[in-house]
Amino acid sequence: MENLIIEQRGQFIFRRVLGALFIALAIVYMMEGIGSIKAMDMARAVFFLIFGILFFTPLVGSARSKAEIINGSLKIKWDGWFKTVVVHESDIERIIVRKDSVRIVRKEDKTVKVLLHFMGRDRRIKVYKFFTEYARQKSITLVK
């Protein structure tokens, strides 16, 4: 079974533009504060610079969503998540596929909810097919 990788190009471009805007604002605040250094102006400049770097680089969220099968585990890194979630296949009770989300109900841990709100129809279908095929291959209960 092939791993699921979905590129989120629109969000990647939006983050880059937002990061560049924050960095430009930081430069403007630094240039403005050169003559008379005020603590508040420098604090704003540092604030905008930090957020600009975070948005411009892939440190905040990711531009791709992926679900990989590695050594009997399902490794999920979704857009907007800071951490990768690893779910062992024996830990999965059932998979719930809905129009706007896919939920992986675990036996003992918290349910993993994969949101599909901002995806186009073709990308949603890829996600549905991946999780449906995964549930079928691993003999996991699938709820639609």
DSSP secondary structure letter of residue 107: S
| 73 and 46 in a common domain | no
Whether residues 68 and 139 fall in one domain = yes
Whole-structure pTM value: 0.70
Task: Please indicate, yes or no, if residue 129 is contained in any of the structural domains.
Answer: yes
CB 106 within 8 A of CB 112: yes
Contact 137, 1 (CB under 8 A): yes
Question: 85 and 44 in one domain?
Answer: no
Q: Which amino acid is at 115?
A: L
Identify whether the C-beta of residue 135 lies closer than 8 Å to the C-beta of residue 22: no
43 shares a domain with 74: no
The per-residue pLDDT for range 69-122, each reduced to its tens digit, is 998 899 998 877 778 899 999 999 999 999 899 999 999 889 999 988 878 888
Residue with tokens 């800071």: 82
pLDDT in tens, 68-79: 999 889 999 887
The answer to whether residue 49 is domain-embedded is yes
Predicted pLDDT at 111: 93
| Domain carrying residue 23 | 8-56
Which position has the token pair 């990647």?
12
**CATH code: domain of residue 105:** 2.30.29
Residue 110 DSSP label: P
| pLDDT of 34 over the 80 cut | no
**Structural domain total, the chain:** 2
Residue 109 lies in a domain: yes
Same domain membership, residue 137 and residue 69: yes
83 and 134 fall within a common domain: yes
Decide: 143 and 95 in contact? Cβ < 8 Å.
yes
Q: Cα separation of 140 and 131, whole Å?
A: 10
Same domain, 43 and 107: no
User: Is 104 part of a structural domain of the chain?
Assistant: yes
Q: What is the mean pLDDT of residues 31-51?
A: 80
Of 40, 56, 72, the one marking the end of a domain is 56
Note whether residue 1 is domain-resident.
no
pLDDT digits (tens, 9 = 90+) for 42-62: 888 889 999 898 888 766 656
Mapping DSSP to helix (H, G, I), strand (E, B) and coil, where does residue 47 land? Answer: helix
Q: Are residues 120 and 101 in the same domain?
A: yes
Asked if 93 and 110 count as a contact pair (C-beta separation under 8 A), the reply is no
133 band by pLDDT with thresholds 50, 70 and 90: very high
